[in-house]
Homo-oligomer: A and B are copies of this chain.
Amino acid sequence: MGMIGGGPGAFIGAIHRIAANMDGEIELVCGAFSSDMEKSMQAGASLHLDRDRVYGSYKEMLHHEAGLSANERMDFVSIVTPNHLHFEPAKLALENGFHVVLDKPMTFDLAEAKQLKAIVEKSGKYFCLTHTYTGYPMIKEARQQVLSGKFGAIRKIFVEYPQGWLSEFVEGTGNKQAGWRTDPAKSGAAGAMGDIGTHAFNLAEYVSGLQVTQVCADLYRVVEGRKLDDDGAVLLKFNNGASGVLIATQVAAGEENNITIKLFGEKGGLVWKQEDANSLFIKWPGKPTEIWRAGENYLSSVAKHNCRTPAGHPEGYLEAFANHYRNFALCIKAGMTGEKPREEWLDFPGIEEGLRGMMFIESVIENNRSDKKWIEIK
């Protein structure tokens, strides 16, 4: 693979590289890690890349790689830049025949997202949007159980994503991560709702197999001087009549990264918390709660496909991330050999999830400005 972004000081680039490395099936062969050629070279050197596969711009890289022979050039590109630098490189990569992994939220705004969707569809290439949390095996298990109908019709979906790291005005202290995430020119219209709200939204739709149709949003810029929302709650209506609540805040001082989903159907429900990611709690009226565990043989085949170790050997965030890369790579590899990709390989978030996320952001931002209670997501 090749990488765009992820140079010195970046957080998510390193995570992508570990996730891609993990299973020994993906090799980083080139990168445009920074628009500053020197920084890009520095990153490339520390990653043991050939100097002539390190580039000073994504354009140069995509152009040059496209000119290499099929067995020499990268098979796909991973784009890990801030939101405002997602669309152009993704477009160019797809148009040059590369599969694309893209960090979330998908684009700067909904218009770009719609364009990108058309481009992906036209390209026929694989496209993966790294909503990490749906890579966890117990989230895949949760979805399988919901889809199986064992809970009956789903009635309630609660997702919350509390973080505390933006409790103070850290963007004023030179914190690079905080800097672009709170800057409307780089993040887009939403702050916390874009950065982590979209994760929660994706989790809700993925696990439930449903779609949000209406939202009622209440967003805040809690920290003085901040330019984007850092906190908010959204009431949700789903396309089957279910309802729910989404909470996304980055000012829950003392919280780390405690994304959680609780879902209830007519007959029972489930609870999953990322901080105890290897357990899925299944709840029943009149019967003991069950703790389903990653790595166990009784899981669905989809969940088991996404486990690397036996039960009791905890897998974490990096493994969840790696699952998206592995499934994406398995699909590409199948494409090379003419094999039909298996259903569990195709189970990674893609262009549709990305578009839904951008629709969510725009609806929430619009409704938040309004006195009207509800707005349609579209």
- Asked if residues B287 and A269 are in contact (CB atoms below 8 Å), the reply is no
Cβ of A311 < 8 Å from any Cβ of B? yes
Cβ of A28 < 8 Å from any Cβ of B? yes
Task: Name the residue of chain B whose CB is nearest to the CB of A155.
Answer: B222
- Asked if residues A282 and B274 are in contact (CB atoms below 8 Å), the reply is no
B-side contacts of A264, CB under 8 Å: 164, 167, 249, 251-255
B-side contacts of A21, CB under 8 Å: 21-24
- Asked if residues B24 and A167 are in contact (CB atoms below 8 Å), the reply is no
- Asked if residues B275 and A254 are in contact (CB atoms below 8 Å), the reply is no
Cβ of A175 < 8 Å from any Cβ of B? no
- Asked if residues A156 and B231 are in contact (CB atoms below 8 Å), the reply is yes
Of the listed stretches A84-92, A102-110, A200-208, A288-296, chain B binds A288-296
Residues A216-271 near B (CB distance < 8 A): 216, 218, 220, 222, 231, 233, 235, 243-245, 247, 249, 251-258, 262, 264-269
B-side contacts of A274, CB under 8 Å: 312, 314
Question: How far, in angstroms, from A240 to B216 measured CA to CA in the complex?
Answer: 23
Q: Mark A153-165, 1 if CB is under 8 A from B, else 0.
A: 0011010101111
- Asked if residues B297 and A286 are in contact (CB atoms below 8 Å), the reply is yes
- Asked if residues B245 and A269 are in contact (CB atoms below 8 Å), the reply is no
Task: Name the residue of chain B whose CB is nearest to the CB of A289.
Answer: B291
B-side contacts of A292, CB under 8 Å: 288
B-side contacts of A267, CB under 8 Å: 167, 253
Q: Mark A17-57, 1 if CB is under 8 A from B, else 0.
A: 11001111000100000000000000000011000000000
Q: Mark A165-177, 1 if CB is under 8 A from B, else 0.
A: 1011000000000
- Asked if residues B156 and A275 are in contact (CB atoms below 8 Å), the reply is no
Of the listed stretches A335-343, A347-355, A370-378, chain B binds A370-378
Cβ of A210 < 8 Å from any Cβ of B? no
Of the listed stretches A64-72, A119-127, A315-323, A357-365, chain B binds A315-323
Question: How far, in angstroms, from A163 to B266 measured CA to CA in the complex?
Answer: 13
- Asked if residues B18 and A277 are in contact (CB atoms below 8 Å), the reply is no
- Asked if residues B275 and A314 are in contact (CB atoms below 8 Å), the reply is yes
Task: Name the residue of chain B whose CB is nearest to the CB of A297.
Answer: B286
Question: How far, in angstroms, from A231 to B317 measured CA to CA in the complex?
Answer: 33
Known contacts: A243-B220, A291-B291, A315-B317. The answer to whether A285 contacts B254 by CB under 8 A is yes
Task: Name the residue of chain B whose CB is nearest to the CB of A276.
Answer: B276
- Asked if residues B309 and A256 are in contact (CB atoms below 8 Å), the reply is no
Whole-angstrom distance from the CB of A293 to the nearest CB of chain B? Answer: 7
Cβ of A308 < 8 Å from any Cβ of B? yes
- Asked if residues A288 and B285 are in contact (CB atoms below 8 Å), the reply is no
Q: Which of A162, A311, A312 has the most CB of B within 10 A?
A: A312
Interchain residue pairs with CB less than 8 A apart (6) = A18-B308, A231-B243, A256-B311, A309-B318, A313-B317, A371-B372
State the 6 A-B residue pairs at the shortest beta-carbon distance, nearest first: A254-B283, A256-B312, A257-B312, A314-B316, A313-B317, A288-B290
